[in-house]
Every structure is written in C-alpha cells, then in structure tokens.
C-alpha cells in the first residue's frame, strides 16, 4: 500500500464543487492532483491555484482548470504535503523547494489540509528534517552565516551537482538544527535576517492533517 497515495486521495475529499483550490507540491500531492483530475473529469467544477511550476504542469496534464492568486486572492481550500508535523499541527515544509509559494497560498486559504504518511509525524520539529530557508542569491553566504548563529548548520541546496534555484529565482539553504524548541519564535527570527525571503516553518497554518499509516487513515483537526 502506498501511504502517500492513500493520504493524498483522502485529503481531496475536502474539495467541493465551485471551490478555488490551492494545489501544493511534492510526491504526496502527485496523487492528490491525479485524483482531483479524475474528479474534474467526473464533473467537479473547481479552479486550481498551483504552488510551483511542477504542480502547474501536472495539474494541466490532469485537466484541472487553473488560475492565479491575483484573480482569486482568497482560496477556499488548499491541499498540500509536509516534511514534519508536530502535535500542534505546526509544520516544516519546503524539501520540495516550493515553500514560498506554498506559504503565500496557505495564508490566503480559508482551510489548509495537509496530507502525509505517518513518518512525517514528529514530537518536536527539526530533529529529523533540515529546515529549508529560501534566500536571495545576493550575499547568500553572509545570510547563511547569520542564520547559523541561531544554532544550525547551513548547507546550500544542490540538485544534480548544480545549485538548486527556486521558481522565484532564489537559493535554498537547508538548515540543520538539533531541534526547534520554539518554532513560532524561530520562524520570526529567521525571517528578520536580511536576505531571507521565507522559511519553511508553517506555524498555525494547518487546519487538518490527514495521516495514512499501515493501520489506516487518521484525520487530525486543529
């Protein structure tokens, strides 16, 4: 059983006719978007707001009508994945590189649904996953030095030996903490550093988490 598929397909049950739908990014979202495509073929009338070029391409291939946040500044429901989820439903996101658009879309959404397999549930954020931070290219190493003074090791993200560049033309620093005790404070501290565009701590943005494990699917509400 593919747990990402189970979670992704369950999460899209929150999408109803006539809604503006935020479409997250990643391998769990792959299944959610495919399923939404099936629902659209069966008559569901929605408009999707993609959070990345990758998602835009997949949604188009799946036959989901798309629009922009400019056209629809308020989103009814967003479905997205996550890298870590704590008990308060705070998240680390961005290992797929789309954290900036995902955070803008999440904060424009009336309801944020997170789909994940149970490996993403953690006691404390940051002990397993690095925290992705999107930074301007200009002066990135001095931005990295300032971030590391907050208690982490920073590494410039690469893909296939090349520096990874986001859809917004920026770099990503993977910031490895031992753990993040006060994620709300850390989110603000990182974002206060000049050169930081956004970080992958999503605090208080998730409303529902749909978690799939070998025991079945659990829906956790805020």
Regarding 26 and contact with ligand 5RP (CB under 6 A), the answer is yes
102 as an active site residue: the answer is: yes
Provide, rounded to whole angstroms, the least separation between the CB of residue 132 and ligand 5RP.
Answer: 7
End-to-end CA distance of the chain: 27
CA–CA gap between residue 23 and residue 15 (Å, rounded): 11
Q: In the complex with ligand 5RP, which residue's Cβ is closer, 76 or 84?
A: 84
- Residues 9, 56, 84, 102: which is the catalytic one? 102
Stretch that binds ligand 5RP, among 21-29, 68-76, 146-154, 208-216 (CB under 6 A): 21-29
Q: Out of 19, 95, 135, 212, point to the residue binding ligand 5RP (CB under 6 A).
A: 95
For tokens 């922009």, name the residue.
68
CA–CA gap between residue 71 and residue 94 (Å, rounded): 25
The pairing of strands 208-213 and 109-117 is parallel
Q: Which residues contact 20 (CB under 8 A, 6 or more apart)?
A: 46, 47, 49, 67, 72, 74, 75, 76
Provide, rounded to whole angstroms, the least separation between the CB of residue 27 and ligand 5RP.
Answer: 3
Regarding 50 and contact with ligand 5RP (CB under 6 A), the answer is no
Regarding 82 and contact with ligand 5RP (CB under 6 A), the answer is yes
Chain positions 108 to 137 lying near ligand 5RP, rule: CB under 6 A, are none
Q: Do 113 and 77 contact (CB within 8 A), yes or no?
A: yes
Nearest to 79 by CA among 45, 128, 115: 115
153's enclosing H/E stretch is: strand 153-156
Regarding 28 and contact with ligand 5RP (CB under 6 A), the answer is yes
CA–CA gap between residue 116 and residue 113 (Å, rounded): 10
Q: In the complex with ligand 5RP, which residue's Cβ is closer, 113 or 186?
A: 113
Stretch that binds ligand 5RP, among 41-49, 77-85, 143-151, 157-165 (CB under 6 A): 77-85
Token reading at 198: 């956004």
Residues that bind ligand 5RP (CB under 6 A): 4, 24-28, 80-83, 93-99, 102
Q: Which residues are catalytic?
A: 102
């Amino acid at each position: 059983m593919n747990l990402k598929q189970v979670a992704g397909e369950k999460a899209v049950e929150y999408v109803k006719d006539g809604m503006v739908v935020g479409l997250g990014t990643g391998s769990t979202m792959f299944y959610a978007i495919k399923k939404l495509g099936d629902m659209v073929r069966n008559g569901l009338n929605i408009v999707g707001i993609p959070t990345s070029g990758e998602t835009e391409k997949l949604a188009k291939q799946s036959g989901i009508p798309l629009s922009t946040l400019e056209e629809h500044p308020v989103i009814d429901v967003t479905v997205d994945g996550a890298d870590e989820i704590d008990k308060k439903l705070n998240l680390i996101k961005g290992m797929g590189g789309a954290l900036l658009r995902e955070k803008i879309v999440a904060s424009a959404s009336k309801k944020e649904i997170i789909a994940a397999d149970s490996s993403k549930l953690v006691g404390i954020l940051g002990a397993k996953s690095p925290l992705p931070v999107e930074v301007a290219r200009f002066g990135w190493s001095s931005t990295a030095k300032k971030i590391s003074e907050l208690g982490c090791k920073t590494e410039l993200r690469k893909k296939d030996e090349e520096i990874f560049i986001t859809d917004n033309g920026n770099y990503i620093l993977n910031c490895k903490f031992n753990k993040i005790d006060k994620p709300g404070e850390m989110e603000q501290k990182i974002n206060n550093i000049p050169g930081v565009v956004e970080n992958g701590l999503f605090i208080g943005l998730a409303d529902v988490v749909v978690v799939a494990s070998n025991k079945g699917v659990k829906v956790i509400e805020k």
